[in-house]
Amino acid sequence: MARPRHARKPRDGWPPAFDLDILLPEALRGWIMDEADRKPCPPDFIAVAVLVALGSIIGARCAIKPKSRDDWLIVPNRWGGIVGLPSAKKSPAIGVALKLLAFDGRRRSQQHLQTGCPALLQQDRSPSQK
């Protein structure tokens, strides 16, 4: 995959540059590269924010049980932070992930309204209709 214009280049004494081909799932790679090229910002900024956002969408409802005879569960919690100089485009990178969360929130709200979730329907009614 072609390296975006603003990708970090490896330097002596620094950790290796973010390798998109190894560290990102193929389903996200193209989208993150496109966003990084359009912002423009380093793709690792966007990747960190998106992976943390996806972990929050999955939430605690899904877990992995690595041992079949044990009750140990691993929940996909993700913590991440973006460190960069001022004007390094950290906020636009986080904005990409927030768009993903906003889209998921709107989709879930529509699902609840279509299934007739009583709590949401009560909120939508005016006080005179209750």
Which pLDDT value is given to residue 2?
56
Averaged pLDDT score across all residues of the chain: 77
Q: Which domain holds residue 123?
A: 24-129
pLDDT band at residue 106 using 50, 70 and 90 as cut-offs:
confident
Query: Domain for residue 10, yes or no?
Result: no
Peptide bond before residue 86 is cis, with ω within 30 degrees of 0: no
Q: What pLDDT shows up at residue 124?
A: 45
Q: Give the residue-averaged pLDDT of 103-124.
A: 62
Per the domain annotation, does 76 fall within a domain? yes
pLDDT at 63 over 50: yes
pLDDT value of position 126: 46
Residue 8 resides in a domain: no
Task: Kindly state whether residue 16 falls inside one of the protein's structural domains.
Answer: no
What is the mean predicted confidence (pLDDT) over 38-43?
Answer: 88
Residue 98 tokens, joined: 């927030």
Of 6-20, 46-60, 81-95, 113-127, where does mean pLDDT reach its minimum?
113-127
Is residue 96, in this structure, part of any structural domain at all? yes
For residue 100, being part of any structural domain is answered with: yes
49 within 8 A of 99, measured Cβ to Cβ: no
Number of compact structural domains in the chain: 1
